[in-house]
């Protein structure tokens, strides 16, 4: 039986593109959902995100029971989880865009503004290398599409799975156990992105 994928709809994600990319990667049962009960029954959970940290966290928290369902299904029961862009940033302890906003706190760190560097623009936009440290079954080194002005400053170096370079190393992926977050957009990263999603669908942490 195909895994049930809960693609969380909280008004802050590029849902149709992510759904199409998951289908291209082989997913056959993707529920775009704002229903905590659907999340509680899902085999895998995907949290997209586009926009400001505070807005996204507020929108997610505004769905009655959603954060609790995520805590239960992912954090306690160990369902494989993928956060994309701001969905990855929400894993942090806090974001400091427009003041301090508490995140999910699943992976220690703070989401901070990217510091401008000579000859480099913010936002960090376009194709860039993903350099993986160590070995992980989902994210591998390659080239992906990025679009962000804030980055995940992780507390523990062991939680940083991959980096990219934009005036210095910037976190491209974080991982801890069954929890994975990518700063890049798999749905915009062509063959590399589809391969990443295929690996996620096959992942058995």
Q: Which domain CATH number covers 189?
A: 3.40.50.880
d(CA 188, CA 144) in angstroms, rounded, equals: 8
Domain ranges, residue 40? 5-202
Q: Which position among 56, 85, 97, 124 bears the catalytic label?
A: 85
Q: Is the pTM of this model over 0.95?
A: yes
List the beta bridge partners of residue 8: 33
How many independent structural domains does the chain possess?
Answer: 1
pLDDT confidence of residue 13: 78
pLDDT confidence of residue 9: 97
pLDDT confidence of residue 119: 84
Query: Is 187 known to be catalytic?
Result: yes
Closest CA to 57 of 11, 123, 21: 11
pLDDT confidence of residue 24: 97
Query: Is 185 known to be catalytic?
Result: yes
Other CB atoms within a 10 A radius of the CB of residue 26 amount to 13
pLDDT confidence of residue 12: 84
Q: Which position among 56, 124, 166, 187 bears the catalytic label?
A: 187
Q: Which position among 71, 143, 185, 202 bears the catalytic label?
A: 185
Full 3-state SS string of the chain: CCCCEEEECCCCCCHHHHHHHHHHCCCCCEEEECCHHHHHHCCEEEECCCCCHHHHHHHHHCCCCHHHHHHHHHHHCCCCEEEECHHHHCCCCEECCCCCEECCCCCCEEEEECCCECCECCCEEEEEEEEECCCCCCCCCEEEEEEECEEEEECCHHHEEEEEECCCEEEEEEEECCEEEECCCHHHCHHHHHHHHHHHHHCCC
- What is the torsional sign of CA 109, 105, 73, 50? negative
pLDDT confidence of residue 132: 97
Distances (CA, A) of 39 to 16, 20, 55, 68: 18, 19, 21, 10
Which parts of the chain sit beneath pLDDT 50? none
Tens digit of each residue's pLDDT (9 = 90 or more) over 73-106: 999 999 999 999 999 999 999 999 888 999 999 9
């Amino acid at each position: 039986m195909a895994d049930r994928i809960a693609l969380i709809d909280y008004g802050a994600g590029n849902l149709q593109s992510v759904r199409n990319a998951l289908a291209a990667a082989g997913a056959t049962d993707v529920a775009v959902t704002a229903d905590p009960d659907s999340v509680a029954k899902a085999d895998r959970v995907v949290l997209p995100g586009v926009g400001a940290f505070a807005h996204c966290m507020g929108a997610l928290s505004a769905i009655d029971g959603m954060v609790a369902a995520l805590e239960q299904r992912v954090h306690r029961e160990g369902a494989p989880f993928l956060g994309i862009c701001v969905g990855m940033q929400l894993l942090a302890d806090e974001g400091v865009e427009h003041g301090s906003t508490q995140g999910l706190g699943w992976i220690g760190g703070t989401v901070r503004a990217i510091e401008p560097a000579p000859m480099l623009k913010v936002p960090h936009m376009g194709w860039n290398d993903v350099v993986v440290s160590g070995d992980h079954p989902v994210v591998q080194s390659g080239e992906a599409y990025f679009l962000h002005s804030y980055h995940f400053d992780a507390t523990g170096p062991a939680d940083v799975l991959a980096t990219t370079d934009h005036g210095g190393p910037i976190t491209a992926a974080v991982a801890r156990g069954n929890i994975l977050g990518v700063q890049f957009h798999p749905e915009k990263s062509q063959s590399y992105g589809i391969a990443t999603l295929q690996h996620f669908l096959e992942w058995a942490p």
